[in-house]
Structure 1
């Protein structure tokens, strides 16, 4: 029943998106090439948003807390890739592969040594404060080590290609493909593997899972590790076209929260669909709304969805 409902939501959202884009082409009064460029840019931007949102939604879905250190961890992953590239001459995309297990270990360590001590905090206020403090610690450590001067990671595949007449940067295309692969991998892990079964069991009922022999604290640590590894991939794929400063991740944090709540708290498919939809909405909206108008459109849609469906597009009814 839930799968059927999700299918209807996907089809409905796809239909709304297609009809909206068609209306822009036919009645928007804009050059068709400009609209095509905007749509392609929106899809690629949506891939970036998906990458940033995946770790956040996975951590919330199991632990039930919002990770305020998400942006700082993203910046940490970017600087990790920068360090590998600048000091050892490693290919940036190979550095992404190497940074993912490092970030997984970092996430595991944070959860097992800090967050698990607060596991009985029903109100989740202390875990939130811990993630906020972790964010400040990471940002200031990066500032102390690398300074505040913007840095960059050169891409070995710089350039652009034409897609339906629109120009798309190769690093952004790679990031979009990476977002789809990471989202697909997480879905397969959660649905097909024994670890995924344990994670879903803990997310549904931690007490019940512990009664049947699941090590809940270990699953929590593994989940935070997977979330951090997702952030590691995101940071590595974003680094070639993002200016590296200690606060680089902050610019994505707010929209990542919007996407996670919009798609359904804890839903990986929701983060995938929601990120692409928000990317399209923001760029197509910029054709008609100047300045911060597209963001107002995004937040307006966010409020509307929550009014009509408080659990988010792919969230389960409570």
Structure 2
């Protein structure tokens, strides 16, 4: 029963890992750029959700929608003014730009909010549902369900809407998409906004059980890259599989190892997958 409880917890956590990582793999899939500042947009989403709770009295699950909208708009501006200028530049220029963006966002947050930790209070914060001998944390379950809804919304957008099909066409061949009348620059701008917006959304929904501070991105950046590389960089399905894998591995390994070594098994599995299947669990060979 302890193992089943750990599996349930891992699945709930993995769903959130998936949605915060889908944005990273979406940006890479459409634009071909690895955004090292992705976790800082998660931090911004957490702060927007926190301010919506502190100033407007909104539950973080509702504030997550505002966090998505605000960071989506910010992402579109960042892509138009900065990212698009290095799309055809050498990879090292892209790395320097996104790492520089990471430093700027983090230090701007430190100047604006200070270094103190902040948290929200909700009526269900310490609640749990009991199913026989299993206990399901309500905040974890709520965050998981919101992540599932956002993932389904993204799937519908990418597969059923004109913008989604145009975005996938741009990812496959930007020049051909332009010749067919698609504004490739606009599609890349929307893709970047969606990517960072989804990550911000995921940051806001975990506020009931996670504190926010300007350097919180450092706690997620390695996990996000682990998820997308484990599943297959550029694959949305891979991010979902990778997120579930990371959540379950973390939860099960916590049963056998102390907190300080919780990620030991995760990175051993990660290294093994890279050695045996470099393209990831879902990604195809190139």
Q: TM-score range by the shorter chain?
A: over 0.9
Match of 2:201 in 1: 233
Give SS of 1:286's match. helix
* Contact in 1 for aligned 2:20/2:200 (Cα 8 Å): no
Give SS of 1:315's match. coil
Match of 1:143 in 2: 110
Task: Please show how residues 106-185 of structure 1 align to structure 2 within 5 Å.
Answer: 106-121=74-89, 123-158=90-125, 159-185=127-153
Q: CA deviation at 1:84?
A: 1.5
Is there any run of 5+ residues in structure 2 with no aligned partner, and where?
Answer: none
Q: CA deviation at 1:291?
A: 4.5
Match of 1:71 in 2: 39
Structure of greater Rg: 1
Match of 2:154 in 1: 186
* Contact in 2 for aligned 1:259/1:271 (Cα 8 Å): yes
Give SS of 2:283's match. coil
1:154-176 CA-partner distances (Å, limit 9, x unpaired):
22432111245222221111111
Match of 1:289 in 2: 257
Give SS of 2:255's match. coil
Matched residues, number: 285
User: Equivalent of 1:312, from 264, 280, 284?
Assistant: 280
1:85-115 CA-partner distances (Å, limit 9, x unpaired):
1112223222111221111101111001111
Give SS of 2:124's match. coil
* Contact in 2 for aligned 1:36/1:165 (Cα 8 Å): no
Moved more, 299-308 or 255-264: 299-308
Structure 2: distance between partners of 1:133 and 1:80: 22
1:171-199 CA-partner distances (Å, limit 9, x unpaired):
11111112222222222222222111111
Task: Please show how residues 80-119 of structure 1 align to structure 2 within 5 Å.
Answer: 80-119=48-87
* Contact in 2 for aligned 1:47/1:176 (Cα 8 Å): yes
Give the structure-2-normalised TM-score.
Answer: 0.94
Give SS of 1:246's match. coil
RMSD: 1.6
* Contact in 1 for aligned 2:45/2:200 (Cα 8 Å): yes
Match of 2:6 in 1: 38
Give SS of 1:229's match. helix
Give the structure-1-normalised TM-score.
Answer: 0.85
Match of 1:28 in 2: none
* Contact in 2 for aligned 1:152/1:244 (Cα 8 Å): yes
Moved more, 305-314 or 270-279: 305-314
Q: CA deviation at 1:253?
A: 1.1
* Contact in 1 for aligned 2:61/2:146 (Cα 8 Å): no
User: Equivalent of 2:223, from 255, 262, 274?
Assistant: 255
Q: CA deviation at 1:83?
A: 1.1
